[in-house]
Structure 1
Amino acid sequence: MDHTQLASEILRQVGGTSNVVHLGHCATRLRFTLADDSKPDVEALKKVPGVLSVVKGAQFQVVVGNQVIEVFDEMQKLGDFGGDSRSAASSVQAPRPNGKKAGAVLLDFLVGVFQPLIPAMAGAGILKSLLLLLATFGWVDKTGQTYLILTFISGSVFYFLPILVALTVAAKLRVNHIVAAAAMSVLLFPDMTKMMTEGAQFLSFSITNVNYASQVFPSILGVLFYAYMEKLFTRISPKPIRVFFIPMMSLLLTVPFTLLVLGPVGFTLGTYLTSAVLFLFAHVGWVAVGILSALLPFIIATGMHKALTPYVVNSVTTSGREFLMLPALLAHNLSESAACFAVAIRTKDSGLRSLAVSSGISAMFGITEPALYGITLQKKRVLISIMIACFIGGSALGLFAVGGSTVVSPSLASISMFVDPEDGSKILLAIAGLLISFVASFILTLILWKEESLPAASVPEPQPEPEPRSALPTVPAAVLSKTHDNAPSLIELKQPVPGTVIALSDVRDEVFSTGAMGPGIAVVPSRGELYAPADGTIQMVFRTQHALAMELDGGAELLFHIGIDTVKLHGAGFDCQVKSGDRVKAGDLLMTFDVESIVAAGYDPVALTILTNKERYTVREAEPKQAAQGILAFVTPVPATV
């Protein structure tokens, strides 16, 4: 499914264009603010190829991995989702999400405000940390103009944060972002700042002297007030004069009120927030970093880590360093990466190995969602290993008093963010904490995690175009003709191959699709593993290993056939784990096969389980409740005829 199709299908499943109030994205997720949270079909969304997971919280989040930017761009072409601000004259108030609690609305607002700022702050912050690293080792002249100009590039982003925040708040509130930014620019206007230092008054009211450079909360409060003013004057202004009257009156009331009240309140709010976290760090000690790091898999999975972004931004911009969240993230990100590499080493599943390696690399560079949703939350022992490693590594970083200076997800690539120009050992201690987290997670996962005997179904591989019908193996007559007098009335069949079950009639081979070989089960495999669906005995393994025959306890006979026309592969990519005469239990691994190589060779990888003695038995599909318990179908005897 290409990006256009994926975007269209996601939009359809979340309730259509009319249900999307606002759309944003982060590194791997599409973040929706919806008018009605009851409209999305979550289960249908999870089945869309390309969707890794769906998270319902303050925002409705659809995880699509590293293709998020391309999918987001395609969705923007499908409708106006609040990504761009409108002019005051044409501003229309967005519908409010129904039934959301105040906390959820607040979190949604904060995410919408700070998420667009992350790229600029991350780029500027990493540049700043690299310059500090070069200066610490004496590789550049700190007094040279080249060095100073490069530091100005980084510093300007943080200095003008009040204006940048005004733009994102206005976009979130769907008001005129240019006028909103103009209103907040007064906070940094040189003549205004000079007057405040000398003692300024407005209508005999004293203006508090506050340095608003790099502040975020004063601007947030100021634009919130501006939004109400714009909407008020939009309602009461005569249409012929709206073009100048609305912005003029909004500026006239917003700027003085921000200087007198909202600015000082916002500055104090930011100070108290930072002080509260520092108080926690001072009294709970270095263990606080370890505890937070251990909880991050759950916090990130629900999107709640975004609620801490205002604190991190305020702490970095006011004190230059943050000692809780950024070190905790460093320990978590490297623990996720190491656990994925450990899974890749231990697993025999080529599909899982490929996912683990790619997720491990992404996590190493600060993007943990693929690892989190694809590996960690799916495997309890991996999750336990990561949490223990996070606590160990996070506690070590807390004990070392390592602080980050950049608002970006810590990673191997951004390790320079922990450079402290006043203490050259901090970068070495950060690397030590990184290694502790990585090694602990890797060893713990190797020890604790064991591959499940029957993994859950996952996203199916795409099927290639139909190929000519395969040369089917012939089951020996001795196998097909064997009878049993005491056949059980019902035999439960579990899903033999992880993947997506399709109708046998949809298989692109007439011998199978018409039922000529017998009734059965077809699965588009997501992993190259065949498991015994019930207890029985292996009767035959075919020379090319792409098929085998099994007799279930009670006499039903099954033929397992992997792929269409795959006999032409002459056994390449197939590895049978059993031999003729072996006794097997439900869930035992019978065969592994390389799905990717089958597809690459131009063959359909569909896995077939066919009941060959159809004159004595038939296959009945399980009910939904039974399917939820892992039972895919039942084999029942054909009633005897008189």
Structure 2
Amino acid sequence: MNYKEMADGILMHMGGIENISFMTNCATRLRLNLKDDSKADLDGVKTVKGVVGAVKKGGVYQIIIGTDVPHVLAEIRKRGPIGEEKAGSGKKENILNRAMSMISGIFAPIIPALIAGGMLKALLTLLTFFGLVSGDSQTYYIINFISDAAFYFLPVLVAVSTASKLKCNLYVAAVIGAALIHPNFATLVSTGEPVRFIGLPVTLISYGSSVIPSILAIWLMSYVEPFADRISPKPIKFLSKPLITILIVAPVTFVVLGPLGYTIGTGLASGADFLNQHVSWLVPTLMGAFMPLLVMTGMHWSFVPPIVQSYATYGYEAIMGPGSFVSNICQGAAALAVAFKTKNRELRQVSISAGITALLGVTEPAMFGVTLKLKKPLYAVIIGGAAGGLYAGINGVVRYTSGTPGLASFAVFIGENPMNIVHAFISVGIGFAVTFALTLFLGFEDEVEIKTKHEETRALKQKIEVGSPAKGRAVKLADVKDETLSSGVLGKGAAVAPVNGKVVSPVNGKVFSVFPSLHAISVVDENGAELLVHIGVDTVKLDGKYFKAHVKDGDIVKKGDTLVEFDKKAVEGEGYDTTITVLVTNTQEFLDVVPAGQGELESGQTLFTIV
């Protein structure tokens, strides 16, 4: 995946780097706020290679990329600083959209920290369950408080993230958030004696793991800080501005906003617990059914505050965890059912990859690349999700800590109730079975014949002879001592054991990419074959040592032109195999890749033929 091209394509359709006022990412999506919405072209951004889909919800542009999204985000940041204007200055959003934009903007950067803490806690549960770590050991004690850190210091994390969203000073905001959980205030809370600040009563509340008090505090700060800036004399503004801000915001938070936020938070948690106690089947059923729609619209972010508050109050949550676990597995089931039923090779390949990813907890590739596009499989996901969610709700399944809902993080359902994890697995089993069967039964429009004939016609009209990249002995792909290369997962091809370190182009074409470590080069043949020339096994670890590139990205090359030279003796002296592998990475677009056979080859002599 070419991150530079993706970044350029996204920026072109979003009005350029200067039109972005705020940018972050979650596990699979790039999230943008724009200054001028009229410059955005969602249909255009969907055409960028590597982009799975794009939507605008809650005032936020969500560009679905997949797990490579951090690399794309980093590439965009290289293009220049993000603007300072408020988001959506081109068109005023309604209150609901602004609220959704605010919630997603605050929590998206924090989620990785919460997931890390939750997964560490889940890992600790597994270690103790299998007797690898004793619950009385110091190792357990240390891992336990590390896993709790993200949740305990959540007021600080939320304060910083809110300040970033509202363009406030991050470090002053951190101080305000930290004040809420300061040990001295915690001592006052535990003592229980009445506390007053300049005669005003201070409600004694434990703010550890709270969310809403910090949001309200920094919301106030977003007004106080500009005021402090205006009234501060220029010579002492550096000192007076943060002083005035903290002197106003911190006391008001302790006296008014903190108790208000705590009341709202506990009210949300109590409401969720009421539903869980009296109609336990309802929320997981609805979540299991409609989670895809919530994710598509970005509405799932609105549930983060009550979920976090539920963890803090009860030690578990049943709002989203059980239903989303079932829904994610159903997305995987639908994608795998499509792969089983379709005769379209490209769709099968996409569906298998997306299905496995969804089972592990990341559903965007399956949802936007398969089920939503084909429609009927999405109906199967909704029905299967409702069935599994209903079972989870009836049996009181809860999630004990944060984690991406999927098989990779099943341990988040292990807790004080030993049957909780059992019922969680049964619920996803029901969802998987119902969804898989319904997808096969309902079917979907599969344009197999037209596409296959087109591909076969294209393949039969061309015959591409790929030359050996070096002088040496031909090696079967299966004999290459690199499982990733030899398995054929990256494409079919062949290899050569070179007698020297001169590597030449195997075809006429264009250099698509020279890897930074110089151990691999991607070349696109003039007929469209995409070739990967991979030098050695694990030589990426040398980071370019002993290698010298003779070409760069975009160069036009002829068959036999030198691509790279490397010191074969030195590389082998470091303990690395120097076998050179050539793969056709778009093998699926051709009928077959036929190796020329074994024996000695001259540089440029046919290594294999693409038909």
Match of 1:440 in 2: 434
State percent identity of aligned pairs: 37
Match of 2:423 in 1: 429
Distance 1:400 1:284, change over 3 A: closer
Quick one: distance in 2 between partners of 1:44 and 1:455?
A: 28
Match of 1:235 in 2: 230
Runs (5+) with no aligned partner, structure 2: 465-507, 509-527, 530-585, 595-607
Match of residue 278, structure 1, among 260, 273, 282? 273
Quick one: distance in 2 between partners of 1:218 and 1:51?
A: 37
Match of 1:151 in 2: 144
1:267 pairs with 2:250: no
Quick one: distance in 2 between partners of 1:289 and 1:331?
A: 9
Match of 1:127 in 2: 120
Asked if the contact 1:214–1:318 (Cα under 8 Å) also holds between the matched residues in 2, the reply is no
Distance 1:594 1:164, change over 3 A: closer
> Matches of residues 364-375 of structure 1 in structure 2 within 5 Å?
364-375=359-370
Match of residue 300, structure 1, among 295, 298, 304? 295
Quick one: distance in 1 between partners of 2:450 and 2:368?
A: 14
Distance 1:220 1:38, change over 3 A: same
Distance 1:137 1:401, change over 3 A: farther
Asked if the contact 2:33–2:88 (Cα under 8 Å) also holds between the matched residues in 1, the reply is no
Match of 2:546 in 1: none
Match of 1:209 in 2: 204
Q: Tell me which amino acid in the other structure corresponds to 2:431.
A: S
Q: Tell me which amino acid in the other structure corresponds to 1:19.
A: N
> Matches of residues 98-497 of structure 1 in structure 2 within 5 Å?
98-136=91-129, 138-196=131-189, 197-421=192-416, 423-453=417-447
Distance 1:451 1:41, change over 3 A: closer
Match of 2:563 in 1: none
1:31 pairs with 2:31: yes
Quick one: distance in 1 between partners of 2:298 and 2:328?
A: 15
Match of 2:571 in 1: none
Quick one: distance in 2 between partners of 1:603 and 1:49?
A: 28
Asked if the contact 2:318–2:397 (Cα under 8 Å) also holds between the matched residues in 1, the reply is yes
1:20 to partner: Cα distance: 1.0
Asked if the contact 2:285–2:388 (Cα under 8 Å) also holds between the matched residues in 1, the reply is yes
CA RMSD of superposed structures (Å): 3.0
Distance 1:206 1:414, change over 3 A: same
Asked if the contact 1:347–1:451 (Cα under 8 Å) also holds between the matched residues in 2, the reply is no
Q: Aligned pairs, how many?
A: 474
Distance 1:93 1:596, change over 3 A: closer
Quick one: distance in 1 between partners of 2:242 and 2:151?
A: 27
Distance 1:46 1:201, change over 3 A: same
Match of 1:94 in 2: 86
Distance 1:93 1:206, change over 3 A: farther
Quick one: distance in 1 between partners of 2:174 and 2:42?
A: 38
1:317 to partner: Cα distance: 2.3
Quick one: distance in 2 between partners of 1:107 and 1:599?
A: 50
Partner SS state of residue 305, structure 1: helix
Asked if the contact 2:344–2:447 (Cα under 8 Å) also holds between the matched residues in 1, the reply is no
1:594 to partner: Cα distance: 6.9
TM-score, scaled to structure 2: 0.73
Quick one: distance in 1 between partners of 2:149 and 2:282?
A: 35
Quick one: distance in 1 between partners of 2:87 and 2:331?
A: 39
Partner SS state of residue 125, structure 1: helix
Asked if the contact 2:13–2:40 (Cα under 8 Å) also holds between the matched residues in 1, the reply is yes
1:184 to partner: Cα distance: 1.9
Partner SS state of residue 38, structure 1: helix
Asked if the contact 1:226–1:254 (Cα under 8 Å) also holds between the matched residues in 2, the reply is yes
1:125 to partner: Cα distance: 0.7
Q: Greater shift after overlay, 127-136 or 111-120?
A: 127-136
Partner SS state of residue 31, structure 1: strand
Match of 1:61 in 2: 62
Question: What are the Cα deviations for residues 329-385 of structure 1, in whole angstroms up to 9, with x where unaligned?
Answer: 000011111111111111111101110010011101110000000111111221121
Match of 1:558 in 2: none
Distance 1:289 1:468, change over 3 A: closer
Quick one: distance in 2 between partners of 1:74 and 1:388?
A: 40
1:43 to partner: Cα distance: 2.1
Asked if the contact 2:53–2:64 (Cα under 8 Å) also holds between the matched residues in 1, the reply is yes
Quick one: distance in 1 between partners of 2:42 and 2:314?
A: 43
1:284 to partner: Cα distance: 3.7
1:175 to partner: Cα distance: 1.3
Distance 1:6 1:205, change over 3 A: same
TM-score, scaled to structure 1: 0.69
- The structure with the larger Rg is 1
Distance 1:190 1:600, change over 3 A: farther
Match of 1:516 in 2: none
Q: Greater shift after overlay, 594-603 or 344-353?
A: 594-603
1:107 to partner: Cα distance: 0.6
Match of 2:15 in 1: 15
Question: What are the Cα deviations for residues 261-304 of structure 1, in whole angstroms up to 9, with x where unaligned?
Answer: 01000100101111222333444431331122111111111111
